[in-house]
Chain A
């Protein structure tokens, strides 16, 4: 496995406000990376910097081995902005024509077959398509450029459950068949859990969690046991979240080993893990200092 993109000490300032601070990240190639965080955490800023649409204030960003924003990176990176925008008055086939004229690499057959597969009529104006069809059109325009890296900023927001499912299914399949790397920001946690192999949680412009989903899941446990001992245990194990009843408590902890006496230990879901970190923004799960664990896993 390789790295699709990497940032080193990346920072971005707008006026006096730092939208991103000291972000060193690597994004695995050929996988979906989930980018999660509250509104205003810096997700869109990070995506636009990776896309080369915005320059970092500090640090460096490389995309598929070249600096982000360089002509070569623009050829191989596709960015689908929030709400998967299309031109409402333009017919579907004219979207393809314009995109073909604007791009050096363009796979007309892939675009046509993909749209036909979703039953999207070429003659229809994009404004007359359903939200799901518009999203599929935007994704098709991005995929037909044959990008090495695809950046998606909350593409699910306007989709109904079926359109969402089809969109994600086609995305992971493109990832698998074409080897495309995807960075995907969303608030829809259960779906992220299913499609993502790598997780980044941003909080107030900084990285709160970064790592392969499997490693993160293996490194956390939910302990359930008597409430009386939970406080002391939470302190000792550095619990990320504690839910207390009067008699029973649940503690989300990192790498607990054998559960303490009286406690049962179970695996956590990615959704539980993300929620716990989003609730406690002082907790972090990061690769060790100096070396990014991500790189060790990817190499």
Chain B
């Protein structure tokens, strides 16, 4: 059995396969998944979430492509990476600076929803800028 169980967030707007990828990445970051752990078996995901196998396989291929997971024929897909580069200390530092930003935003009169919208927009710009840099 896998240490994690996938779920679907109908409000997320993200394609299903990407939700699975993000959940696996987040689980790795937060320590719910560790190197050597098995991801949920495809048939368990298809039957519990009622999504087609292509979607699950696409998510697992992307995790493999990112070097996070590895498919072992006949066995399943396993985590082969450690949590991403920033160690717990860097992560804590980044979280603190984000906390400072949130306090500033709150002081400027923004509510949480507006902060989230602003963050989403900045993330969108960041994504566009990095995608542009790659292309």
- Chain A residues with CB under 8 Å of chain B are 31-32, 165-166, 168-173, 175-177, 190-191, 194-197, 214, 217, 264, 267, 269
With the chains together, A217 CA to B58 CA distance in Å? 15
Partner of A168, one of B8, B10, B43, B50: B50
Q: Is residue B76 contacting chain A, with contact meaning CB distance below 8 A? A: no
- Which of B8, B10, B42, B53 lies at the interface centre, i.e. has the most chain A CB atoms within 10 A of its CB? B53
A-B contact pairs, 9 of them (CB 8 A): A32-B52, A166-B50, A169-B49, A171-B50, A172-B52, A173-B47, A175-B53, A197-B52, A214-B54
B51 neighbours in A (Cβ, 8 Å): 172, 194-195
Interface of A is mostly: helix
- Chain B residues with CB under 8 Å of chain A are 8, 10, 13, 15-16, 42-43, 46-55, 124
Question: Do the beta carbons of B46 and A173 come within 8 Å of each other?
Answer: yes
Question: Do the beta carbons of A169 and B52 come within 8 Å of each other?
Answer: no
Question: Do the beta carbons of B48 and A172 come within 8 Å of each other?
Answer: no
Given contacts A168-B50, A173-B43, 12 further A-B contacts (CB under 8 A): A169-B46, A169-B47, A172-B47, A172-B52, A176-B42, A176-B43, A176-B53, A194-B49, A194-B50, A194-B55, A195-B50, A197-B54
Question: Do the beta carbons of B15 and A172 come within 8 Å of each other?
Answer: no
Question: Do the beta carbons of A169 and B48 come within 8 Å of each other?
Answer: yes
Chain B minimum-CB-distance residue to A196? B52
Partner of B52, one of A166, A170, A194: A194
